[in-house]
Structure 1
């Protein structure tokens, strides 16, 4: 294949390829601009439920401590809740370790790095999201490195880096206080390091690979799926019939040593997991909430589409009409990649995509579940698809013959980069996005609450703590929050013009009285407007009366927004 970077005037090179230096300059500018965008506006998007728990753990607060404060029966201000999003000198690093150990399903590396970042003179949200942003920036050169290690030359690695830099999905997770940007970075870096070790066969490269997989295991438990992928990939590269038996034995020994060292270093967290065998099962039980095949298909159409373009900030449950047709050119691009790319690249990227596709979609199809609705679990698959598409575009641009193929490659590249750039601009101008999941509407709920003397009534539930604190970020200082006390009688506070209820319990509904109506707000399933005359506190029934349905208000839920399976925090 001729290099698309050939200098002008060299005989035998197609004339169209003379523009390659300009295209390389343009790609470099796009990469630098889109990469820098990850570091800007880190505080503009809504702080959602799972990010709230990130900060709670980073600062070493225990779940029971936050729960006791919220559901004490005392009237609280937004600042009273937001103190759990701020550092407290009384909570040390030891408290952070204890808080992380309560949730072994979350590997601790990102949270420990975030704790370090909060020592900077920055707002905690900006500091913690900034950690993700740095990893999101580093992902771009890591993709370039991996693509080159897999054999791509010319413009292809630059195109892969540019597509990842302009991806709206990658921007969103690079600006979220969660571990996904770190997970992707280490996944890509470990794969590139393995490819480099297989090519050069030096001990330094194998130790570098061991370092990356150790860090990868500490970034996300699902990183462990890359170990069998890497094993199959390494065997395919080496065991091709052309290598001597001694080389195969040396490969097995070095790979086993690298993985053995990584697992040994990861064993402290394996012990934490082993001492809480039921914890992960309890936390991930929401994944088994069944959804229909139509929802699964719609989810994957959204995931694949939003990898390249995402211009709507509305949390639609269905993809745009006709967006399913985008699967056709994507499938064609993947097929071309499988046919044209070097076998090592095909094996690694295809195995990575299939393993994470299988772990998400397979159980949903075989046993029923809602994993496919969570794009974060599919991020490795979607990243592999991006690199495959970049490879096909680079091959088309570098074609030795066929001006139509080259022009088509340039056109597709310009279209994807343009749509990605417009999507990132839309995200930067928004205050929330559907990746905030069931918290997406919390900004709108807060605006409703801020228009009057409003009381937020919270009942203890699976999402109550995260949602109450997420809302507190957007509440005006005069708004008050009251959490239903547990296992003792209570009276609802008086003197408020409006009330908004968060996952109201049977006791709260009974206390409100039969004259009240609870209407779901802004299409949510957890927030309700309380309308009608407030119940007389003197007539508030005791807890035992909560079972009397004649005293409970009418509840109106949205018919077009199915209620999510309640869960405390997303398991991964």
Structure 2
């Protein structure tokens, strides 16, 4: 018999109606204004992948010094009937092996059926995010054996600003969150049932999650620690066989999952230098204060997100209560539930947090500040917070019931307000290098005879394509190969009276200023305007 988690099965009369209403609101937020926010750098690469184009092809054909239009760049975001599914997956393995193919395989067929518009591609993520709800509900029933906890968790998830934000992004992270919940619930189900069918369900769900995002491996490490911890005896004697059956079944199932992943390991190890080059940015250290500020913001965004950046005044007074609530929820969980419950949540959070955070502290890097990498941590904290609120709501004491209702209301209201604000925005903090593109595009479009100059350095190709979605037809682009340290600026035709530069070397920009005897005006992050005719 399993020890109770202490949550009464009774639910307040209003609870079901409120939950249904919040689920409807959450669904609306996931689909409203899908194309409003800038289609940023990483999403551009999604379109490259699913249309069987590559960065090298884009650079070779578009960044060659010729003057082109925004529409010319869009050709690399459109379906080519001569490029099929297997070519798309093969090219994805060559240039982007750190991102497994499952999401992109689904997105390929999605685009074939429904097209390649921004709203269409993003709608796949929005739809996949809806699968989070049944998976979360199942996990809560397996873990807490309480429909009240499951209901509270669904309510918080429905209006979670972080989850809604990534449900509107053309990347695999919303699907990854779903598969994390699915394989976590399947593991608890397999441990409880101890049948071949149950372990097969876990194995398949683990494979699906690994083929969605490789950091599922961190979650699997947490799963393995959990299985070992709740089965402390490792004797293979017949009298202890039942205890060890979980361990043996887990080892066999996870080994099979890794074997099934071997075809993708081929791409990872064969093109390891490309993987290292494209992920090198994560090993660049940030100032300690910046890392601390980013981490604080990240861990509050499951419940409140008004688009603040680390330099926003007063933001930390806003988020500290949410951080303290999550910390207290972990303490409450550990002190009020049996080992099998609190250890599962802690291993879900800790396996990812420690494996990402410790290398940052020892060898440097910014892995722990990347929000999408921390999705397992956010899910674990949402589980512990849901348990805390459910415990208060089911308390025999009126004070704690009122406290639970007040905290739940605060989280839900802050989530709804955050989602409402985000739904009307043209850009948000998760757009990173493309954050300023809407502002830059407005200035370019409002100028007379504009031309945009950039090169193929680092993130520029993807970011220029991102910008092209926002530019008018009359805008022209002069895109160059990656500029050397001592460049010679190209001649700009006299018809262009406004030159805009995106992320070019300072000595290159200085030569333009000298040539036109005009100063540069900063119009965005690493973006400048130079007027050739005053």
Q: TM-score, normalised by structure 2?
A: 0.92
Change (3 A) 1:241 1:411: farther
| CA RMSD after TM alignment | 2.3
Aligned residues: 519
Partners in 2 of 1:347 and 1:356 — Cα distance? 14
User: Any residues of structure 2 matched to 1:273-284 within 5 Å, and which?
Assistant: 273-284=268-279
Structure 1 residue 111, shift from structure 2 partner: 0.7
Query: How do residues 442-521 of structure 1 correspond to structure 2 at under 5 angstroms?
Result: 442-452=437-447, 453-485=449-481, 490-505=490-505, 508-509=508-509, 512-514=512-514, 515-521=517-523
Structure 1 CA distance for aligned equivalents of residues 276 and 420 of structure 2: 39
Alignment match of 2:324 (pick from 314, 321, 328)? 328
Give the one of 56, 73, 84 matched to 1:92. Answer: 84
Aligned mates of 1:292, 1:506 — CA distance in 2: 24
Residue of 34, 51, 64 corresponding to 1:42: 34
Corresponding residue for 2:178?
185
Match status 1:176 vs 2:169: yes
- Once the two structures are TM-superposed, the CA of residue 445 in structure 1 deviates from its matched residue by 0.4
* 2:64 corresponds to 1:72: yes
Name the structure 2 match of 1:555: none
Q: Which moved more, 1:320-329 or 1:190-199?
A: 320-329
State the 1:241 CA deviation. 10
Match of 1:366 among 362, 370, 387: 362
The alpha-carbon distance between structure 1 residues 26 and 476, as it changes in their structure 2 partners (threshold 3 A), is same
Q: CA 1:402/1:485 → structure 2, altered by over 3 Å: closer, same or farther?
A: closer
Q: 1:47 to 1:316 in 2, by over 3 A?
A: farther
Deviation at 1:137, TM superposition (A): 1.0
Following the alignment from structure 2 to structure 1, what is the Cα–Cα distance between the partners of residues 305 and 438? 20
Q: Distance in 1 between matches of 2:357 and 2:351?
A: 10
Is the contact made by 1:114 and 1:127 (CA closer than 8 Å) also made in structure 2? no
CA shift digits 1:459-498 (9 cap, x unpaired): 2210111111100111011111111256897423331121
Q: Secondary structure at the match of 2:272?
A: coil
Matched, 1:405 2:397: no
DSSP 3-state at the match of 1:449: helix
Q: Which runs of structure 2 are paired with 1:41-190 in the superposition (5 Å)?
A: 41-102=33-94, 103-190=96-183
Q: Which moved more, 1:229-238 or 1:293-302?
A: 229-238
Residue 128 of structure 1: CA displacement? 2.2
The answer on whether the counterparts of 1:167 and 1:420 sit within 8 Å (CA) in structure 2 is: yes
Is there any run of 5+ residues in structure 1 with no aligned partner, and where?
Answer: 7-16, 535-572
- Give the corresponding residue for 1:547: none
The separation in 1 between residues aligned to 2:335 and 2:394, in whole angstroms, is 16
Q: Deviation per CA, 1:145-179, whole angstroms, max 9, x where unpaired?
A: 11110024141111011111110000111110111
Residues 529-568 of structure 1 show CA distances to partners (whole Å, capped at 9, x for unaligned) of 224569xxxxxxxxxxxxxxxxxxxxxxxxxxxxxxxxxx
- 1:2-22 CA distances to partner (integer Å, 9 max, x unpaired)? 86554xxxxxxxxxx6xx121
Contact 2:53 2:91 in 1 (8 A): yes
CA distance in 2, matches of 1:318, 1:192: 41
Give the SS at the match of 1:116: helix
* SS of 2:452 mapped into structure 1: strand
Mapping of residues 231-242 of structure 1, within 5 Å: 231-239=224-232
Distance in 2 between residues matched to 1:234 and 1:365, nearest whole Å: 28
Unaligned runs of 5+ in 2: none
**2:242 paired residue number:** 247
Determine if contact 1:52/1:466 at 8 Å carries over to the other structure: yes
Question: What TM-score do the two structures reach when normalised by structure 1?
Answer: 0.86
SS of the residue 1:322 aligns to = helix
Corresponding residue for residue 545 of structure 1: none
What do residues 209-228 of structure 1 show as CA deviations (whole Å, max 9, x unaligned)? 01011111111111111222
Of residues 318-327 and 493-502 in structure 1, the stretch that sits farther from structure 2 once superposed is: 318-327
Question: 2:529 — aligned with what?
Answer: 529
Q: Distance in 1 between matches of 2:44 and 2:294?
A: 25
1:483 aligned counterpart, secondary structure = strand
Counterparts of 1:430 and 1:481, CA distance in 2: 26
Q: Quick check: 1:305–1:323 contact (8 Å CA) kept in 2? A: no
Give secondary structure in 2 for the equivalent of 1:119.
helix
